Amino acid sequence: MIKQRRLLGPLAALAALLWLAGCSSNPNAIEPNPLPEFSSEYRAKTLWSRQVGDGVKKQALRLTPAETHRGIYAADYQGVIAGFAHERGKRLWRVKTGERISGGLYAGYGLVMYGTREGDAVARSEDDGSEVWRVALGSEVLAPPAVNASIAVFQSIDGRVFALDTLSGEQRWSFDNPVPILILRGAATPLIANDRVYVAFANGKVAALDADTGAPLWERRAAEPTGRSELERLVDISNNMIVEGGGVFVGSFQGSVSVLDEESGRPYWTKEMSTTTQMASGRGVLFLADHTGHVWAIDQRSGDTLWKQDALYGRGLTGVALQHGQLVTGDAEGYLHWMDAETGRITARARLHRKGFAAAPLVRDNVLYVLGQRGKLAAYTLEPR
């Protein structure tokens, strides 16, 4: 969905939403590939599944779950939040907040944090879900915060970044970056690494900020807008960034995937590509799904393509994660597809629910957690056949 900062452009919004979703009712949508055949090498075993409210249904939201060593936490669009034990999915607590949660969850330092459509940043106790602090930011939050022991960094849809004290919610600093009139309904997830906060914006820019003061250390355009119309010039960065090996890896819609020097922001390489979903990395390789449904493995140093999997073309992929040497992604029909991380060969498949997923997969200790559009949270392991 595309949103103006103050007004919604209905026709443009509808067009882009259908394009990104690969919806068959859009005459310009790509035709999805049929469910691919493959030789099964692993068995995906369901450890447990639990219901978390009503999910996201038809809301244009990514309600990413969060986890710590104590449990995994998930929410629905009507404000139900629940925590579950890792091993058997026993419910630890459940609260009805009455809030319109919009930004996905973060869990850590004894807290569960999220943003709302009304522009509030909220922290709740990981013990029982009780509210610890709340701060009004003034504009909708569409991504989970980045958090360390000192600060929780929230980014609102209007391009503002707020660093709040992790324990009290007191504002430490803020940073503002102008965004275009027309933007995707989504936002990049801030990232804290090496005493810096990395943030990305709807205008295709990435900035490195001092974590203590918010002072900008560098700012670089990672994607250049092209085309004549506002829709054609969209280059939003609305997924996660990865800081690894001295580089900041970033992908944009209708733009590129690139790596910037961690210290200076100088670009190392750029690869023309469009992506808006979660990326992953491992052993010097960057993994991602582009907006058409191709899955890529890219050498982090050179930007060269190591492999490309096109069997999932048009299937509305969620983004990717690594589990036990396998790359996994979900599609719009609720299937999970596992691929060999070295070759891209499809090795396993399972189905959660025919309505698809509310967010990209999450992996901890080689267990995969996924949240469905209708609110089912499930845990999977992989076993060789």
CA atoms within 13 A on the CB side of 54: 10
Lowest mean pLDDT among 37-41, 157-161, 236-240: 236-240
pLDDT, residue 170, reads 98
pLDDT, residue 8, reads 31
Q: What mean pLDDT is predicted for residues 229-248?
A: 75
Instruction: Indicate the CATH number of 63-185 among 3.90.1150.10, 2.40.128.630, 3.90.1660.10, 3.20.20.10.
Output: 2.40.128.630
Other CB atoms within 10 A of residue 180 CB: 18
Q: Same fold for the domain at 38-59+284-297+307-385 and the one at 63-185?
A: yes
**Separation between Cα atoms, residue 91 and residue 72, nearest integer Å:** 10
Who has greater pLDDT, 231 or 363?
363
Q: What mean pLDDT is predicted for residues 13-32?
A: 47
| Residue 322, C-beta contacts closer than 8 angstroms, at least 6 positions apart | 280, 282, 287, 328, 341, 363
Domain limits, the chain: 1-31, 38-59+284-297+307-385, 63-185
- Give the model's confidence band at 273: pLDDT under 50 very low, under 70 low, under 90 confident, else very high: confident
The conformation of residue 141, written as its DSSP 8-state character, comes to B
pLDDT, residue 181, reads 57
pLDDT, residue 11, reads 29
In one letter, which amino acid is 375? Answer: G
- Give the model's confidence band at 59: pLDDT under 50 very low, under 70 low, under 90 confident, else very high: confident
Instruction: Indicate the CATH number of 38-59+284-297+307-385 among 2.160.10.10, 3.60.150.10, 3.40.50.360, 2.40.128.630.
Output: 2.40.128.630
Percent above pLDDT 90 for the chain: 74
